A and B are shown apart, each in its own frame.
Chain A
């Protein structure tokens, strides 16, 4: 078979099969094109993942421990910063949602 014929043949053979790859559960990648408001609200409240505080060096265990210790010691300040950022994010989102609703209403009235 020539390469130019392979795709049509594969499609023909696939059509004759009955099983489906979608039946395999687990990771399925979808691009993020249009982010819904609920998703934005979830993202607005910033939460740092402590597992990501680590060293990537070959013998980085002591550096990881040091970094995590520093995160722990500065948690009051970082917690306050995160709370301030979340407050701003959520209020901004609320305004955007109100504006979205208002535009929708005006468009309906026209």
Chain B
């Protein structure tokens, strides 16, 4: 069960990856969502849920889900998997309805967790928030990611929802300093689905002042692979992350990563990224270092490859199976 199913979001992709495993294990069942984006495939409406007495229910919790409340009354064994909910403080000024949903979602989560038999998080950070020690990491398929090629210019990349808490504004400012001081030909590519039109307009306005910035949305997997292949650095200054899958995509592409150590980022990145909570002036210099210091770049790439081993699909599948058994 999902509160909402979309075409490209990490939670929907996880639900479909889980479904592949369930099918491989000979398990039946279906994936239902309270809200389904018309572009999302593989999900049925919540009303299609009709569990038999012995069936187990898996709730992917990532947003306010009042319509899932009825599910909690069912006698079936229930597993709640928290993907985390963005704190509303980042959204009140930019999208009040979404902020309200986040606020309610964060308040509702402990209640839902208390009424489920097993509670887990996709990261230790998420599990800790609910007083659980059970982590079911995402089942990753990163075969589509291509190794980065050699580019004569710096290509800085960030992949994540175009939303305030992802702090694309600060990414743009750090990039602007890096471009001004060190690499006039540098490019920045921001990829993500927009929170709303007004926010993207404001972001585009900021990007236009700086120059060299491209904002892209609704990319296919092949197009996203192309962006990773061209990237020379991945820069994530997000203020809140429940897992941060793009970090691992960057590792898979051999792209050095600079990130703010917020939420689950330190746990996901391990020692394979340059973590800094400093302002744009320091981040700009970190960008310069990863582009000029071959030893640093090679070591980060090597550590990224090592870090991916920690997130092997089989290991995650075993954790999932154990939690549902």
Which residues does A use to contact B, with CB under 8 Å? 1-3, 6-7, 9-11, 13-14, 17, 19-22, 24-33, 35, 43, 51-52, 56-57
Beyond A3-B299, A19-B177, whether A31 also contacts B288 by CB under 8 A is no
The tally of CB-CB contacts under 8 A between chains A and B is: 105
Whether the Cβ atoms of A32 and B93 lie closer than 8 Å is yes
Whether the Cβ atoms of B177 and A21 lie closer than 8 Å is yes
| Residue in A3, A33, A35, A56 whose beta carbon sits within 8 Å of that of B300 in the complex | A3
Which residues does B use to contact A, with CB under 8 Å? 37-38, 87-90, 92-93, 96, 164-165, 167, 169-170, 172-174, 176-177, 180-181, 196-197, 202-203, 205-206, 209-210, 239, 271, 274-276, 278-286, 288-290, 293, 295-296, 299-300, 303
| Residue in A7, A14, A52 whose beta carbon sits within 8 Å of that of B281 in the complex | A14
Q: List 28 A-B contacts (CB under 8 A).
A: A3-B274, A6-B289, A6-B293, A13-B285, A14-B281, A14-B282, A14-B284, A17-B281, A21-B173, A21-B176, A21-B177, A21-B279, A21-B281, A24-B172, A24-B173, A26-B205, A26-B206, A27-B205, A28-B169, A29-B169, A30-B93, A31-B87, A32-B88, A32-B90, A43-B96, A52-B196, A52-B197, A57-B38
Whether the Cβ atoms of B209 and A1 lie closer than 8 Å is no
Known: A10-B283, A31-B239. 17 other contacts (CB 8 A): A2-B296, A6-B289, A6-B293, A14-B284, A17-B181, A17-B281, A19-B177, A22-B173, A25-B209, A26-B169, A26-B206, A27-B202, A29-B165, A31-B90, A32-B90, A33-B89, A51-B197
| Residue in A7, A17, A52 whose beta carbon sits within 8 Å of that of B274 in the complex | A7
Whether the Cβ atoms of B176 and A24 lie closer than 8 Å is yes
CA separation between A19 and B296, bound complex, in Å?
26
Whether the Cβ atoms of A24 and B289 lie closer than 8 Å is no
Whether the Cβ atoms of A32 and B209 lie closer than 8 Å is no
